[in-house]
Structure 1
Amino acid sequence: MNSRRQFITQISLGGTALLAGNAFSQGAMVSETDAQAKGLGYAADTTKVDAKKYPKHVATQNCANCQLYQGKAGEKAGGCPLFAGKQVTAIGWCSAHVNKA
């Protein structure tokens, strides 16, 4: 029974540490050179997206008006589940953009 109690305690502490680490790393900005960012065609500025490479890109699309964007209105950056633990710029864009309803 003592080992079960220790296991539950360790799981609780580990989960807390994981959440704290995720909250801390949320401040890091995603770089356009990150492998995930490159794969999704992420640009920190939607006006600099290669139109030939991404013909479905529309100039009015940006991270701030994407369903995946987790930042608050008016913030310059916010989280995105595609870039776990990192932030994207509100004026950024990637090929996974989905307009907010």
Structure 2
Amino acid sequence: MMDNKMNRRGFFAAVAQIVGVAAIAPAALNAVFSSEASAQEKRRGSAPAAGGAAMPMVDPNDAVAKAVKYVEDYKKSPDSKGVNHCATCGFYTKKETKNGKEVGTCTIFAGKMVYSNAFCNSWNKKA
């Protein structure tokens, strides 16, 4: 017949396992959640550029820009209907002025800046 009582050695082994898990779990969870937060910042386009350098502008010849028919001047796009441009889009956030033009970030182009007067087919009315 098997004895269900835990002996002293078994008790201390179980305690050591619990303490080990309790010590490692916070570090593991922190690593998971901090990398998720970092990924979300990049998707929002609000992640700071590496080394504190200014974020680059979107290149209209970039593959993503071509896929959404990005143009730097909404007046040159027949799809913009005259009022649809980055400044009126929900994905756009004003950041600064470059060369006398307002620029900001866009969730479509993570890590890059767009002109406020630009347009793409992902335009979404600002709430």
So what's the TM-score if we normalise by structure 1? 0.68
User: How far apart, in 2, do the equivalents of 1:92 and 1:42 lie?
Assistant: 7
Question: Which residue is equivalent to 1:79?
Answer: 105
**Secondary structure of 1:47's match?**
helix
Partner amino acid for 2:76? K
Q: Which runs of 4+ in 1 moved over 4 A?
A: 3-11, 72-75
Deviation string for 1:29-78 (max 9, x for gaps)? 001000000000000110111xxxxx643111110000000115987100
- Alpha-carbon distance change, 4 to 89 in structure 1, aligned in 2, over 3 angstroms: same
Structure possessing the higher relative contact order (Cα contacts under 8 Å, 6 or more residues apart): 1
Q: Which runs of 5+ in 2 are unaligned?
A: 1-23, 40-46
CA distance in 1, matches of 2:102, 2:55: 12
* 5+ residue gaps, structure 1: 50-54
For 2:75, the aligned partner's letter is T
Map 1:23-38 onto structure 2 (within 5 A). 23-24=48-49, 27-38=55-66
Shift of 1:99: 1.3
Counterpart of 2:91 (choices 68, 73, 88) is 68
Any conservation in 2 of the 1:64–1:73 contact (CA below 8 Å)?
no
| Residue 39 (structure 1) aligned with residue 67 (structure 2) | yes
Task: Report the structure number with the largest CA radius of gyration.
Answer: 2
Q: Which residue of 2 aligns with 1:59?
A: 82
RMSD, matched Cα: 3.2
Percent identity between the two aligned chains: 28
